[in-house]
Amino acid sequence: MTRSRTLEEHRLRIARAVEHLETHLDEPLDVASLARVACISEFHFHRVFRAIVGESAMSHVRRLRLERAARQLRTSDRKVIEIALEAGFEAHEAFTRAFSSQFGVSPSDYRRAHARAASHAPVSPPPSFARVETREPVAVLALRHVGAYSDVGATWSALHAAASSRGLAGDAYGLCHDDPEVTDPSRFRYDACLAVGAVDPFGELRSHTIAGGTYAVGIHRGSYSSLGESYGLLTRWALERDLAVAPDASVERYLAAPGSAPGAVIEIALRIG
């Protein structure tokens, strides 16, 4: 096997491990189990994961859990100890130390700071800004991008090229896993997705299901650079109606092809619950 093919194979195996840990963050995770998912020996898994992802497997798990906790502190009124336990910490003190190390403030101070910021936010969005709807799961082919959201164009091009080579097409969705107010832009996770139904994965494309459930749904019109403002309004719209925003990926459905025009019309959705 050539060096390039070896690298591609390792990328695919690590991608399986990353997808597994992302969908099992509430469960016990260790290097041995992740190495089994990747079909790589535990000895080599450490080095390969770090080389491809940029941090060790357990550092990656810990960071994702803490970033999810930060989103919950901002968008829910759940008790800190409940969030700590869900993040895998057995004691409030251990969670506070880890959270403070990553974000520079304690969980309680972080929540208070964002509550103050929210109280000084601009005028509330009108009731017609969004709606609540129940959605069915959507089967998609997905291609992962890691890095600034503004740089996803190449990922979309690669996804469309790969899908077209198999005669596949469907509605375009984007899954934004990370909050720009929480995660460093270099580590943003974004999945470019095409709703093509249940199709076997191929190449770097993987099969995925966008979760069904209850969502707060709005429409963003304007530049891609102002998309964050629309998400802020949608979050505020939900919180003002006592709807708890889940720390799941936000879901975008592109009503025009991504990047096809200077402006954008995008249906944006946050899962509730």
How far is Cα 95 from Cα 251, in angstroms, rounded to an integer? Answer: 29
Q: Are residues 113 and 142 in the same domain?
A: no
Q: Is 190 inside a domain boundary? A: yes
Asked if 175 and 202 sit in the same domain, the reply is yes
Same domain, 153 and 70: no
The answer to whether residue 124 sits within a structural domain is: no
Its domain, for residue 28, covers 3-119
Average pLDDT on 46-52 reads 94
- What's the pLDDT band for 197 if we cut at 50, 70, 90? confident
Q: What is the pLDDT of residue 192?
A: 97
How far is residue 269's CA from residue 95's CA, in Å, rounded to a whole number? 30
Instruction: Indicate whether 47 pLDDT > 90.
Output: yes
Three-class DSSP category at 106:
coil
pLDDT interval class at 148 (50, 70, 90): very high
Among the three residues 63, 92, 119, which one is the final residue of a domain in this structure? 119
CA angle 234, 85, 53 (to 5 degrees): 70
107, 80 contact by CB (below 8 A): yes
The position carrying tokens 């840990």 is: 21
What pTM did the predictor assign?
A: 0.87
Please check whether residues 238 and 200 belong to one and the same domain. yes
My answer on whether 83 and 8 are in the same domain is: yes
- Would you say residue 39 has pLDDT above 90? yes
pLDDT on residue 70: 95
Tens digits of per-residue pLDDT, 234-267? 999 998 999 989 989 999 999 877 666 566 899 9
Query: Same domain, yes or no, for 68 and 141?
Result: no
79 and 157 assigned to the same domain: no
23 found inside a domain: yes
At 171, which CATH number? Answer: 3.20.80.10
* pLDDT recorded at residue 256: 79
Residue 95: pLDDT over 50: yes
Q: Tell me the β-bridge partners of 220.
A: 266
What is the number of domains present in the chain?
A: 2
Rounded mean pLDDT, 158-172 = 95
Say yes or no to pLDDT of 184 above 90.
Answer: yes
Q: Is residue 1 scored above 50 in pLDDT?
A: no
pLDDT > 90 fraction of the chain, expressed in percent and rounded: 73
